[in-house]
Chain A
Amino acid sequence: MATLRPRSRLAPWLAPRIALLPMALVALAGYVGAAGWTLWISLTGSRTFPSGAFIGLAQYQRLFDNERWMLSLHNLAVYGVLFVLACVLIGSLLAVCIDQDVRGEGALRTVFLYPYAMSFVATGLVWQWLLTPGDGIDGAVRALGFTQFRMDWIVSQDKAIVAVVLATVWQASGLVMALVLAGLRGIDGEIWKAARLDGIPAWRVYLQIVAPMLWPTFATVLLLLATAVAKLYDAVVAMTQGGPGIASEVPAKFIMDHLFLRSNVGLASAGAVVLLLPVLALLAPYAYARSRRGAA
């Protein structure tokens, strides 16, 4: 017994730290280290092979002089706003609907969450068929007799990116629903009783009382959706290959193309660093808020 005492005093302090060490090292080397190396490569003249030839910010200058990169950033902004708004709106509405004690809740939840479980490389191809003018939705509606109907977003210069939004919202809103529903279930039932006594309509309770209480849930949702926006790649490759022309190009595709097909690791790294900045900008306030809450 006596020999065990010092160890047991040490253990509560040391054991969790030792257990976390491998993960911390992986995170440090894998995430921070890789990001740091990418930053360094972006300052070099690397082409097919990474090289140490320092050229300052020339890659960035070239990047922002590139028509396709600028359009990619623009597309990312359009996509980001539409995608996040639509996902939050549709996901929350679905959650509220299921929250009304509907019959077959389990089945509905599964149905809504199902798209999220499938690879977008496969479902993106199905969406491409659905959206192809002449076939899919376009053809089906016209076969019903609406001969004036046109659904040609996927081949249109302005709307190709909206077609990508449509397909990815279908995929991701189920996840938002699941998270918001979990949040709703955590709301104290007393609040609903009190609101009912006061005769407040349900939509006002949701909007003005429940929604503000759910802010941590929405913060998580926004963070997940924002990362999804930044790394948008598979949906574009599966649906439009960046076309028509370069109308639906996105930064991640620019980076991958330059990394592997166009043999310019330096320019690709510069793009990756630029893409990291908005993610960090979103992450910083969130991390700050969390640390404040932890201190309080």
Chain B
Amino acid sequence: MYGIRKVAPVLVLAAWALVAARLDASVTPARPAAAIGAPQAEVIHWWTSGGESAAVKQVAQAYRQAGGAWIDSAIAGGDQSRAVTVNRIIGGNPPTAAQFNTSKQFLDIIEEDMLNPVDELARREDWDRVLPQPIVDAIKVGGHYYAVPMNIHMQTWIWYSKDAFARAGIAREPQTMDELFADLDKLKAAGIIPLAHGGQAWQETILFSMVLANMGGRDLYLRVIRDRDQQAIRSPEFRKVLLAYKRLSSYVDPAAPGRNWNDATALVIGARAGMQIMGDWAKGEFTAAGQKPGREFGCLPGLGAASPYLIQGDVFVFPRTDKPATLRAQKLIAEVVDRPALQLAFNQLKGSIPVRTDADPRAFDACAQKGMAILRDRARPVGVAEVYLTPDQNGALQDVLTAYWNTAMPVERAQNSIASALRY
């Protein structure tokens, strides 16, 4: 490892060798000869866990029933999957369709003019009206729609154990940040871990987003995260948010650093911890443990009746091509994915909720129904940080938040560092 005789910019070289490797990394998959006329689609995605792969099978099945031939390219891990997609687009051998998050992850690819728009479908299905605004903001660039949304995840649910709440003498769900802290104190006094938390940077970002949205409100949230308004970041209101976020760290058990989110959920399921603030994917853990919403656990989408609802999701994008057969396949996937019936089937298995506000909520559980009702109120949904920030801005914000959470960093310094992180 250290055995290089000549001192050369080793790291620089290694890094650029990797970049060069990306440029010619064009893997040609073996394509079975398709039946004449069946539009053949190779789809890259990272839905590989149990529920996820069952969900994507629904999509593949619907596509086949619509007369297409589906070639599945599942790649474990979002980072890895997106890297392969970008490599293959640059290498000139793109897949027919590829998964991204509803975010700025694919903005650079759009600006390089490497994606096909889906305006025709968007117009026909009236996306401007049926899709929530934050989703539209992420997928509509320069007046064109560049992605077909699949689902919506809400990131900052409060999951609580009814048993733990009863033991701590908490009679009703908290409606304000002050009530939340009072409940956390009661849980602590009852000898229960008040807040189940996994000490990883992205989980700390979820806690911060929850406090910013619920305590700072929609306006402050959007001014800081969407507009990156320096004045708002340096305001006393934002300082209060940071202090409340930091205060949460005093309700976490000492074994939290490095813990995985599902291990934290297990603490709530076993009533060893009072609550966890986590995305709707946590619901799958409760369900797998045989628990039901309203019976063993409660789900709270926010504090108070008008709390902002922080959403993100998955989309399919369609790399640019002129081949008529591929264009036909792309059009067919987009159409199939957008059908309300498929949206229902997919999201029931995935644990998320349909992106179309005109989907039928009766097929879903109590928590998902709450979410779908909120989604119809156009004043409540806002995007998570990734929807508004580029990956590097979002990463810089996350670095500051995790440092502030884990160290004795003064709040003024955290405020300055966040201002720096979001300035560029």
Contact = CB atoms under 8 A, between A and B. Distances in A.
A157 interface: yes
Interface stretch (A12-20, A94-102, A255-263): A255-263
Given A47-B390, A262-B395, A37 B16 contact: yes
B258 A245 contact: no
Contacts of B18: 259-260
Contacts of A260: 18, 79, 83
Contact of A244 (B13, B112, B406): B406
A257 to B, nearest CB: 7
A195 B19 CA distance: 58
A233 B8 CA distance: 17
Contact of B16 (A34, A171, A230, A258): A34
A283 interface: yes
Nearest to B258: A243
A145 B244 CA distance: 42
Given A67-B420, A244-B199, A279-B7, A30 B108 contact: no
Contacts of B417: 67
Contacts of A259: 15, 18-19
Interface string B114-131: 000000000000000000
A225 interface: yes
A38 B9 contact: yes
Nearest to A61: B424
A228 interface: yes
Interface string B267-301: 00000000000000000000000000000000000
A58 B423 CA distance: 12
Nearest to A171: B1
B71 interface: no
A283 B417 CA distance: 35
B55 interface: no
Nearest to A118: B1
Interface string B365-401: 0000000000000000000000000111011100110
Interface string A34-49: 1101100000000111
A228 B1 contact: yes
Contacts of A31: 8-9, 13
Contact of B396 (A27, A68, A282): A68
A172 interface: yes
B34 to A, nearest CB: 32
Nearest to B406: A245
Nearest to B420: A65
Interface residues of A, number: 62
A230 B9 CA distance: 10
Given A49-B112, A263-B390, A231 B402 contact: no
A152 B252 CA distance: 19
B392 to A, nearest CB: 4
A223 B6 CA distance: 9
Contact of B10 (A48, A231, A261): A231
A283 B7 contact: yes
Given A47-B108, A255-B11, A262-B392, A227 B406 contact: no
A184 interface: no
Given A47-B108, A67-B420, A246-B402, A228 B2 contact: yes
Interface string B9-48: 1111111111100000000000000000000000000000
A209 interface: no
Nearest to A67: B417
Given A172-B2, A244-B257, A252 B108 contact: no
B71 to A, nearest CB: 26
Given A31-B8, A175-B2, A258-B392, A246 B90 contact: no
A265 interface: yes
Contacts of B424: 58, 62, 65
A284 to B, nearest CB: 10
A234 B1 contact: yes
Contacts of A228: 1-2
Nearest to B105: A263
B160 interface: no
Contacts of B109: 48
A276 B12 contact: yes
Interface stretch (A198-206, A267-275, A288-296): A267-275
Contacts of A234: 1
B86 interface: yes
B4 interface: yes
Nearest to A120: B1
A275 B2 contact: no
A110 interface: no
A155 interface: yes
A34 B8 CA distance: 11
Contact of A67 (B9, B257, B399): B399
Given A37-B16, A261-B395, A263-B392, A252 B257 contact: no
B67 to A, nearest CB: 35
B243 interface: no
Interface string A91-135: 000000000000000000000000010011000000000000000
Contact of B9 (A35, A175, A267): A35
Contacts of A35: 9, 12-13
Contacts of A268: 15
A62 B16 CA distance: 21
Interface string A41-71: 0000001111000000010001001111001
B165 to A, nearest CB: 30
B421 interface: yes
Nearest to A265: B19
Question: Which of B109, B257, B396 has the most chain A CB atoms closer than 10 A to its own CB?
Answer: B396
A140 to B, nearest CB: 19
Given A65-B420, A275-B11, 12 more contacts: A34-B12, A38-B12, A47-B390, A62-B424, A66-B420, A67-B403, A68-B400, A227-B7, A243-B406, A263-B105, A264-B391, A283-B7
8 contacts: A35-B12, A48-B86, A49-B112, A66-B420, A252-B11, A259-B15, A275-B11, A279-B7
- CB-CB nearest 3 A-B residue pairs: A245-B406, A48-B108, A264-B392
